A and B are shown apart, each in its own frame.
Chain A
């Protein structure tokens, strides 16, 4: 009886991993085939997963344990369709597998995760990986999806054909993980017995280049063969960042073959891909049984509506409208609850502590500052709940699909919309997600405009200004939601406008091709969404308890010292005399044309650390300004603020102008740091600060004076 490969050792064997260190496994596969879900299931970590391609853009390392309790290191790599890298995230996969990354060990073994419902296409990457000569395990994932599509995929047949262990599993439901762990625990794994003959006309070129890579570039023979195939058939592959330059001999050999083939006029790249697919077709002949006749699937029927040229837009607008309406209607009760308790705590401190600096620090510095921001937690959680729904159901990729048309008008394509949509939550993951964009110029343009999309940190500023503008519960939530929607639309229009401008000036290039896989729809994974919301809530509260707390304390000190020489000075006179007041007064000439005074100026300076700090700063400044027993909500304190001549400071026009300022201004140090890292230069983050903040000032100036001219 023939035993399956993961029970019996068949085929060629390679030396086992050195016993003094844990074996290193890399998880690889096509985008959106469940790699990170499997990584999380094996390691117990909670890396972000989503039902759209390109969630993982950098390697992640975790540890699992064999059945004997021995540690096994697991590296989760970004998805790719091929080792011929086209984008920075795909280059991470290629470089780790080829041992080109100095910061990552070359994996001893490779877990190829393949989507059982789409086996042939997934096996293309596996086929290239088998060329590397490393022990490979295949996780035949998403078996439930294959069954739902009426397919029968025979794991045993595939194992027999390839000669490597094939484990059928459903990582999302925890099925097949025990068998996978047993296979991971094996001391030795067989090498693939599948043999694939390189097309004859290419074989001599591969042999010559392989010899050069071994002799002059120090590559191991099997890696050299795989790399030779990549170099010969995909000339662009080495140009992606992170590759070591080739030796002069290899370079010359490559050029000779390239010229020779160009003269012959044969597309060897196409021949090679076809040859691999032919081999895969033969392999799968006895592995896959498809249904004879299949009608449109559930996803096809949903796509007929959601990707429709008219209905698609209607649904998109409905989803966005529901998001903003929910932010106001659903969050009101928990927000009031937090607001009342923050006010009660401030009142209790004022009532029970003796007047003095300690009492003022606690009530006006810490409680007003931190409490003023924490009150917006419910809205932020609602935003992340919606984003989680879009990500887990598969709608994210559809949004990119329907947005392709407007994106192409500005010179980008729908693929750039996924980072932009992600930036609604936070610009940092949005900017990281640009690694999936193949064209370097398009990637840079997307990075430059992504922070214009209104992120969750702007939410507290918008909400505070809307509450000041439209106080009380008598105003319909729809009206407030509409103003919020306008701000999001303004940011989006700004991002599109600047993308259009950049693509016609700094980054001229032909409109890009877009080809993107749309994943099947899946029911939302509420556990995953709630976990992500809890992580974001913790991050928000941690931020409030560290950065915002620290800034609130420092700002309280700067607004309280030096003390005004007159003991009878009013609170406003005290702040005006303080360090912060002096700094604000220095800035006032620049911002007065926008309708802002020096106290708003202090908020603009401090919120460069993070936008939500503006709210805590207003809490500290107007908390300090309040009377001893004043614990009114911040919005009421802002409405009571006046210019020295008695004119109200936060007029409806100023509230709107302030929101517009935050739509455009670059007020986030973390984003600046990420842009510097992603572009590997200070040039672009500094350019970004200049163009965004300059635009913010200019737009606010025009808006404010137009409003004034119209009598507002």
Chain B
């Protein structure tokens, strides 16, 4: 069953092949700032390419690798296929 819209989940739980919107960053200040500076901040669209513990994502055409702790700190809402 697809995840209902607007429910937040950590990025590591976003299914492979789906797209989500970054809604909240929960890591320490320094991490949040770096993530935002890399264009991965709130409202950015992110597509999961692979991984559950270590995640590989596509953000703005760039492949970004995140470890589990980093992916746990990024909360996303999964977008329905039609909204991508």
Contact = CB atoms under 8 A, between A and B. Distances in A.
B4 to A, nearest CB: 26
B23 interface: no
Contacts of B39: 120-121, 124, 277
B41 A277 contact: yes
Interface string B44-70: 000001111110101011111111111
B54 A515 contact: no
Contacts of B52: 309
Interface in A119-172: 120-121, 124, 149, 151
Nearest to B32: A270
B43 to A, nearest CB: 8
Contacts of B69: 408, 511-514
A269 B34 CA distance: 11
B33 A401 contact: no
A269 B33 contact: yes
B6 interface: no
Given A300-B49, A414-B54, A511-B69, A121 B62 contact: yes
Nearest to A115: B62
A308 interface: yes
A49 B52 CA distance: 32
A303 B62 contact: no
Q: Assign chain B's interface to a size class.
A: 35 or more
B28 to A, nearest CB: 8
A413 B72 CA distance: 15
A149 B31 CA distance: 29
B1 to A, nearest CB: 24
Given A270-B42, A274-B36, A513 B65 contact: no
Query: Which secondary structure dominates where chain B touches chain A?
Result: mixed
B65 A82 contact: no
A268 to B, nearest CB: 11
Nearest to A516: B65
A307 B37 contact: no
Nearest to B64: A517
A277 B59 CA distance: 14
Contacts of A225: none
Nearest to A401: B65
A234 interface: yes
A408 B67 contact: yes
Contacts of B64: 515-518
Contact of A120 (B49, B51, B60, B65): B60
Contact of B56 (A234, A401, A519): A401
Contact of A121 (B28, B38, B67, B73): B38
Interface of B: 27-42, 49-54, 56, 58, 60-70, 73
Given A84-B37, A269-B36, A514-B65, 19 more contacts: A81-B38, A82-B37, A86-B34, A121-B60, A121-B62, A236-B30, A270-B33, A274-B42, A300-B63, A303-B49, A309-B50, A405-B54, A414-B65, A513-B28, A513-B67, A513-B73, A514-B67, A514-B70, A519-B63
7 contacts: A82-B37, A273-B33, A273-B37, A277-B41, A511-B69, A514-B67, A515-B34
